Structure 1
Amino acid sequence: MNSKNPTVRALSWAAFWLIVLIVLFYVLFPFYWAIKTSVTGSGQLSREALLWWPNRATFQNFTEVFTNAGFLRNLLNSVVVASGTVIISLLLSALAAYALGKFRFRGKSVLMYIILAVSVFPQIAVLSGLYTMIRGFGLYNSWWGLILSYMIFTLPFTVWTLTSFVREIPTELEEAAYVDGASPLQTLFQVLLPVMTPALVTTGLLAFINAWNEYLFALTFTSDNTASTVPVAIANFSGATQYETPFGLTMAASVIVTVPLLILVLVFQRNIVSGLTAGAVKG
């Protein structure tokens, strides 16, 4: 048996790296193909669609996207709506998580299950009622209409996630703050929030990605192209004729809107890892 151990170990490592390579190919190939298509000219694309790399790379598609004033407006809409959704959701969810995680009151468990149930509702189930509400408040084709609609699915998620984290914070921190004369709000904002930074960053980034990529609500609650977000704008790209599908422009715009998410993940990667592992090991 001992003589076979090196062979078995080598085969195990080979199988392991083969699986890793297959997974990496499955995950990264769509992004590679998007980049390849984005640097292929529209005239070349029909002739070189199946090539692994174009014979002559060009940034014409990116130039056309950036020179389109409408797309820059859509990009601004996405930044404002996604950022506003995250900021308001984190502020409200921090207050709710503090109450749900540290205070005892009747019906708390029922309330948590209601929050969880709301978070798993499909968007289409609340679309008609939400549309009536947005129209009634006069928020159609506005940033606030999209922010309020996006909070339907970001707020339950942030509340549930932060509540789980707040429960793991040692009670001694609160008690020390109360002894020093701090109020509950002072304890939350001056003592607990600094400790919650990794969880806030992780939860906020995930909520930002959801709001950034959201399509159904953005399509339903905006009819003016200047009020639309990036996913709707990309879906509405049109070619030179009605028979042409602008794959190059679509892929170039998709690459552009993916870059901010990659930058955020790289900048906050340490906080993301800390937030995802927080509470996993109890002392």
Structure 2
Amino acid sequence: MTLTSLHPAAQDGPTNRKGRIRYHDVLFHITGIIVAIIFLAPIVWVVLAGFRPGPEALLPPIPPWPAGAPTLDSYVRLEQFGQSVLHYTMNSVFVSVGTAMLTIVVSLLAGYGFSRFRFPFQSLAFVVILATIMIPFQSILTPLFLLLAKMGLQNTLLGLVLIYTTLQLPFSVFMMKNAFDAVPREIEEAARIDGIKGPAMLYKVMLPLVTPGMVTVGLFAFLNAWNEFLAALVLLTDQDKFTLPVLMTAVYSGRYGSVDWGAVQAGVTIMMIPCLILFLILQRSYIRGLTAGAVK
């Protein structure tokens, strides 16, 4: 018997290492499947609850699952609340897309300015912008209402877009500044040697490099505007201008004290679809944008 045969490391051959790797892979996949089931189960349950048949759709969506063929009656009843569901969906799409686009443009310019230019009180201005995140939205809702009334934008979807954009800007400017900080300055210097200056530097050189940050900012702005309820409820008074969250509150309140749970689940399903589609399409750029500037 040799000394090397007594050493534990000598007995750890390629077969044992492969066995440990496979064990870790199996454990990782099992854990991932369990976590996925935990997160997907409520979503699947809500979607299925929207297809409950007949009077069973009026009952709270709790187990056991009732018998009966799936039906679209809940979606038909949802269509009967106020204007059509498509009308309220288009209101939400206008507000959310407008908020995302305006937030991207403003935060892109502000982030580029804070990252690449030097001006008096630059650090103070950036800190003040970030400090506004700590101000509760409910505390400034009344001044915002009066400001929109003075501007003639109260009870308009455009006014709601401006409010949502204002609320998204502090975080968005911070994200875009980090995205620009992650771009080496040598790239700009090389572009200047090639004769690129002024605004062309931003949209020809820098813009493709910070696209993940823009996607992250736009996705955050869209999701927050899509799901926001309080501002839309307070600032919009005409029923035909309501967004989907306000419509869902009316559906959940019910008529004559009764709640149509089937219509509620159908509305929740409709609200989930754009969010899921956008996130699945943009998830790679979203993750890259979140990590931009994290490593120098």
Do Structure 1 and Structure 2 share a fold, with TM-score over 0.5? Answer: yes
C-alpha separation in 1, matches of 2:73 and 2:31: 37
The corresponding residue for 2:5 is none
Aligned partner of 2:52 in structure 1 is: 40
Q: Does residue 228 of structure 2 align to residue 214 of structure 1?
A: yes
CA distance in 2, matches of 1:191, 1:48: 53
Name the CA distance, whole Å, in 2 between partners of 1:22 and 1:268. Answer: 24
Q: Tell me which residue corresponds to 1:51.
A: 64
User: Alignment identity in percent?
Assistant: 33
- Larger Cα-atom Rg: 2
1:93 maps to which of 87, 102, 107: 107
2:165 touches 2:221 (CA, 8 Å); kept in 1?
no
Q: Is 1:183 equivalent to 2:189 in the alignment?
A: no
Deviation per residue, 1:82-133 (Å, 9 max, x gap):
1111111111111110110111223222222111111232210111111111
Equivalent-residue separation in structure 2 for 1:248 and 1:167 (angstroms): 49
CA distance in 2, matches of 1:14, 1:30: 25
Contact 2:178–2:292 (CA<8 Å) still a contact in 1?
no
Change (3 A) 1:137 1:240: closer
> Judging changes above 3 Å, is the alpha-carbon distance between structure 1 residues 90 and 48 closer, same or farther for their aligned structure 2 residues?
closer
Q: Which residue of 1 aligns with 2:3?
A: none
- Aligned counterpart, 1:29: 41
Q: Is the 8 A contact 1:198 1:272 kept in 2?
A: yes
CA RMSD of aligned residues (A): 2.9
Deviation at 1:242, TM superposition (A): 0.7
- Which residue is equivalent to 2:86? 72
* 1:104 maps onto 2:98 in alignment: no
In structure 2, C-alpha distance between the alignment counterparts of 1:249 and 1:100, rounded to whole Å: 48
Distance 1:202 1:241 in 2: 40
Task: Give the gaps of 5 or more residues in structure 2.
Answer: 1-7
Cα distance in 1 for residues equivalent to 2:255 and 2:117: 62
Q: CA separation in 1, counterparts of 2:163 and 2:255? A: 35
Distance in 2 (CA, whole Å) between partners of 1:274 and 1:249 is: 38
2:265 and 2:52 mapped to 1: Cα distance? Answer: 10
* Secondary structure of 1:152's aligned partner: helix
What is the SS of the residue equivalent to 1:105?
coil
Shift of 1:40: 1.1
Counterpart amino acid of residue 61 in structure 1: S
Distance 1:48 1:142 in 2: 35
